[in-house]
Amino acid sequence: MRLPSCHVTIYHSTNRKGGQPMNLDFNSTQSTRYLQVYDYYKNLIVTGRLMPGTKMPSIRRGAMQLGLSRTTIETAYLCLAADGYIISRPQSGYYVTDRTVNPFFKQNTHTKKMTTAHENKILYNFTSNNVDAESFDFSLWRRYIKSTLRQDGRMLTYGEPQGEYELREVVCHYVINKRNAVCRPENIVIGAGCQALLNILCPLIKKRHTVCFHDARFAQGMVIFEDYGFNIEKDKENANVLYMTPSHMTSLGDVMSVEKRLTLLKECAVHDRLILEDDYDNEFRYFSKPIPCLQGLAGGENVVYLSTFSKLLLPSIRLSFMILPDSLLPLYEEKKALYNQTASKSEQLALCQFLRDGHLESQIRKLKRLYSNKAKTLSALLEKTFGSHAEVYMGESVFLVHLKIKCALTSDELCEKAAKNGVLVFPFHKDKKENDGFAHIALSCCEVPVEKFPDAVKRLYEINYSDHCS
């Protein structure tokens, strides 16, 4: 039977209004239907029209859009998952994957294809946000987990939907003292990562309809808001929700000044805009102490505060929290019983005692020493190797080093040359200028051991600079 031509509407921009639909033609008889669906979505992913972190249409929605059976769509998705293009998240759906995805930089199509083509040859990955093997005391954490598991009675019950109360008490004390926050344990909600918390928050603020992201690289967050019917606006003047990262305004970790914070709070109060303050990496400052959070400066009102312990401990320990303003608490209390706790109860209790015993502060000091020393070592080596041909900058963030090289190649081209020779780095367009006679790249010092820096920098210089740059 000849199938009618049909199309699925896929919007490629972050704003659904700006996307263009793609046509999927099923008239061909050269392959089975599920393979056509597979090839269609594979092409969208490979060409970058479906970005990493993008949520795929549900099986039911895909079947309705394409006029096919759910079995056909499910089979296509299983094939995509088997080949690593998408991943299934229980009770959430399928999402586009990227094994080299990194929260610091927005990867363009060119970079993704380059990474995929050379991933098997990569010797030194300076794009990774994985932690250094020396950054965490596994034996110490193991003792806390074991101690928690000995509490047999507590392990027989489900966790509190809002998070274990004693952990919320300790977190409350921590953010009041370290971030100048204004809150009570009742304001705090624990979850397994920021995205899980956003899935709780969005229904509470759905009447606001529009959201503006200061950092357009947070694709996963945009997808969540779009799924709840929010419009993504580029201009904050057109939005009544602002997603801000004031402790990390740029990739290099620039911090929003107190003056600008106060101005922002005043403007949002006048125009009734709700601020979502993502305060990740606030502890990692080279040259300054953390500035009081927006939530504290606002007196706890009109700001939802989000932060995580995953970056301070291990990426695999998924423990984050948000502070709801009092105005949202009644609605949250109505819905709280409907939420399942996403964070492990045993890890919550272990973290609670970990914090009480003062280990978090010592862990932060350890991380700052480790990563600042790595960044300084990498910076010094880059300066020595490139000499007058390049400029090296260390940002406020303890992870990243910016290298500005005199080069005829674009930043993307230089990164591709580097990848071919085993060194994976970021193109970095701080001022969005491509034809200024320089290639701009950034290197994260998180994963690569210090002893491997010399060979990596040598490869970057000899292969990418001497052969191709003037």
Specify the pLDDT at position 47. Answer: 75
Q: Does the structure show a pLDDT above 90 at 30?
A: no
| 306 burial type by CB count under 10 A (0-12 exposed, 13-18 middle, 19+ buried) | buried
pLDDT for res 412: 84
Share of the chain above pLDDT 70, in %: 80
pLDDT tens digits, residue range 423-459?
Answer: 898 887 654 455 567 888 888 888 889 999 999 999 9
What Å distances lie between residue 31 and 37, 41, 42, 329, 399, CA to CA?
10, 15, 15, 54, 48
- E strands, 37-192, are 86-89, 93-96, 124-125, 188-191
- Among 18-32, 192-206, 248-262, 304-318, the range with the most confident prediction by mean pLDDT is 192-206
Per-range mean pLDDT, top range of 4-8, 96-100, 164-168, 363-367: 164-168
Q: What is the arithmetic mean of pLDDT over 128-132?
A: 75
Q: Do 255 and 246 contact (CB within 8 A), yes or no? A: yes
Task: Calculate mean pLDDT across residues 184-205.
Answer: 93
pLDDT digits (tens, 9 = 90+) for 343-355: 889 999 999 999 9
CB 256 within 8 A of CB 226: no
> 216 pLDDT exceeds 70?
no
Helix (DSSP H) and strand (DSSP E) numbers for the chain: 16, 17
55, β-bridge pairs: 95
Whole-model pTM: value is 0.69
8 Å CB contact between 446 and 404: no
pLDDT over 60 (residue 383): yes
In this predicted model, what pLDDT tens digit does every residue of 456-465 receive, in sequence order? 999 988 865 5
pLDDT (tens digit per residue) in 321-339: 999 999 999 999 998 888 8
Query: pLDDT tens digits, residue range 389-419?
Result: 889 988 766 678 888 988 878 888 888 888 8
In the chain, what are the domains?
Answer: 6-96 (1.10.10.10), 109-129+368-466 (3.90.1150.10), 138-357 (3.40.640.10)
For residue 94, pLDDT beyond 50: yes
Q: Over pLDDT 90: what percentage of the chain?
A: 26
